[in-house]
Structure 1
């Protein structure tokens, strides 16, 4: 009798242990499934946030480009036309026989000022809205940008472009603005004497490289302090819109080299 009771107890204990193990396994499985679902939801949320941020960046950049175009056109069409008319009137005064020698000197001086102002307006208008890009494409626009900026650097701006075929205009505009921003940074912040711009296809994709021999900066400190400024943030935003990869090499006193890799279309 005692033996059968002991066996029954053993069976109950064994059955209870099995049930507990099954419950524990079910809890572990539930926990793992819950964690997987949670991670999946977080990834989906990050994707939505990333897509939303991209939409915000794209809308902001599109609005900025529209405003640049409007201001550039206003400068070129209205102020530029007014200055051109003033220059023609001054030319008539210069040809007038009734003006004195002193007045002639003033006329020549004013003509020079108007001429310089017209050139400045053309340069500003070109920076705001690159008509060369819309008409002749990225290669010509980058070479033109290099020619315009080369006088600002003691050893100039060198531009090398290899493009087998035109890119979508939005891509060309983004790459142009990236180069424009980097040249501006090299001039204003890096105090560089030379800038080299290269754009060429490689196995990884279309690679844009902009290198200068300026003062450089402590990249780790800038990243840690989130002190990149609007220039680097704008650069990162344009790179993200291209689905491109950004790689930056710099150090204090060693210049800066920025590489943007745009993947080949799938």
Structure 2
């Protein structure tokens, strides 16, 4: 007899039935499940299946939540998997252990969950049977097969080999059925894959960290190499410049200076043989000019042979210039304003040469007795000014510079042209104006930009 014959359906009420007879009855249970609730055997079977299904779905949810912790590392994954197994079985004891030599990157190598749901880290405190199963799992021989429906052993396999296993003991009121075996086999298989993924991820992270460290080391070495190349290039450039300066100094000493000294000697010889006062006055002037020329040549030779400038800052070079490279008749003062900052080496050398040329012109052409060199450090620029109390006219100097620039390299007034060229090369400007002490002021403004570190 079929179920429909044994349990005939209830008659469907007519749509025109009297609704005042009371509330409409709820649909029969068989409309939802295919089983009538009138027979206890069918209802109890339905409840058992529904409870099993609910438990399986909940277990799979917990397993999924445990397995997605791969990114947190093997330690979090192993503990989450053990907790999921213990929760599903409502177990007194659950053991997850890995075989020695397998999945070597995974830690911890074993986890024990006790009746209270807490991990037992000290194996000396757990029962002997639990300790014995851990040793068997780690040795790769498999766990003992305890009799009864309250003991479960599921191996964890990866690529055909056993890499670990689960062992569980449930309380008397909780038997292990086929569904539990299926859930734990799913958990074991997914655990093996997740642990392997953890190992691969950990190795990838270590490789990435090592690669990043090597890249940073290469970048550092490349920066050091570039700095070394720049230093070698600068050293080579200084060597070439030093050799050229020494050559020019040698030529000046061996030729021009000797000619000037010879001219002075001949002038003195002529003075001793001439009695005409007018001629004697001219010869005295010529002798004085010759002496000044020799002094300037000696100062230039000293400056060209002075190798200490490469290791000195601009203020130090200007102070030395004021005391050594100028004639005795010209009193030079040097003042420094603002906070000195290190400029590029070639800029400091150019400013030093401009100051030397301006002081040379002051000594030779301005008939000045005093000169003031001021170096002012400002936030956006560096200003160098050379002032004197001589008789030079700023307008005349400007006209002379324009004329010399138009005529080209004729040899005349090359000092002014060189000063203007050096200022332009630094991105600066050269100006001539009346000084406060009565004579001419030569002013150079150079943009400092990111001038660099402060000079101690």
The TM-score bracket by the shorter chain reads 0.5 to 0.7
Indicate if the aligned counterparts of 1:80 and 1:118 stay in contact, CA closer than 8 A: yes
- Measure how far apart 1:144 and its partner are: 7.1
**Does the C-alpha gap of structure 1 residues 109 and 93 become closer, same or farther in structure 2, counting only changes over 3 Å?**
same
Distance in 2 (alpha carbons) for counterparts of 1:149 and 1:125 = 10
- 2:264 maps to 1:103: no
Task: Between the two structures, name the one with larger relative contact order (CA 8 Å, sep ≥ 6).
Answer: 1
Distance in 2 (alpha carbons) for counterparts of 1:7 and 1:132 = 84
Aligned to 2:293: 117
TM-score by length of 2: 0.34
Aligned to 2:324: 148
**Does the C-alpha gap of structure 1 residues 185 and 119 become closer, same or farther in structure 2, counting only changes over 3 Å?**
closer
Distance in 1 (alpha carbons) for counterparts of 2:331 and 2:186 = 94
- Measure how far apart 1:149 and its partner are: 5.4
> Cα deviation per residue 1:106-143 (whole Å; 9 max; x = unaligned)?
2111111111111110011110103999xxxxxxx999
- 2:377 maps to 1:216: yes
**Does the C-alpha gap of structure 1 residues 132 and 32 become closer, same or farther in structure 2, counting only changes over 3 Å?**
closer
Distance in 2 (alpha carbons) for counterparts of 1:63 and 1:152 = 34
- Measure how far apart 1:182 and its partner are: 10
- Measure how far apart 1:11 and its partner are: 0.8
- Measure how far apart 1:46 and its partner are: 1.5
- Measure how far apart 1:43 and its partner are: 1.3
Aligned to 1:43: 220
Which has the higher Rg, Structure 1 or Structure 2?
A: 2
- Structure 2: stretches of 5+ with no match in the other structure: 1-177, 310-316, 337-344, 357-372, 383-424, 428-451
- 1:1-266 maps to which residues of 2 (within 5 A)? 1-97=178-274, 100-130=276-306, 147-148=323-324, 153-154=332-333, 184=352, 214-218=375-379, 229=426, 247-248=453-454, 258-259=455-456
Indicate if the aligned counterparts of 1:152 and 1:187 stay in contact, CA closer than 8 A: no
Distance in 2 (alpha carbons) for counterparts of 1:131 and 1:23 = 63
Distance in 1 (alpha carbons) for counterparts of 2:210 and 2:301 = 59
Aligned to 2:96: none
Distance in 1 (alpha carbons) for counterparts of 2:289 and 2:353 = 29
**Does the C-alpha gap of structure 1 residues 66 and 155 become closer, same or farther in structure 2, counting only changes over 3 Å?**
closer
Indicate if the aligned counterparts of 1:153 and 1:187 stay in contact, CA closer than 8 A: no
- Measure how far apart 1:105 and its partner are: 2.1
- Measure how far apart 1:153 and its partner are: 3.3
- Measure how far apart 1:23 and its partner are: 1.5
Q: Secondary structure at the match of 1:154?
A: strand
Q: Secondary structure at the match of 1:215?
A: strand
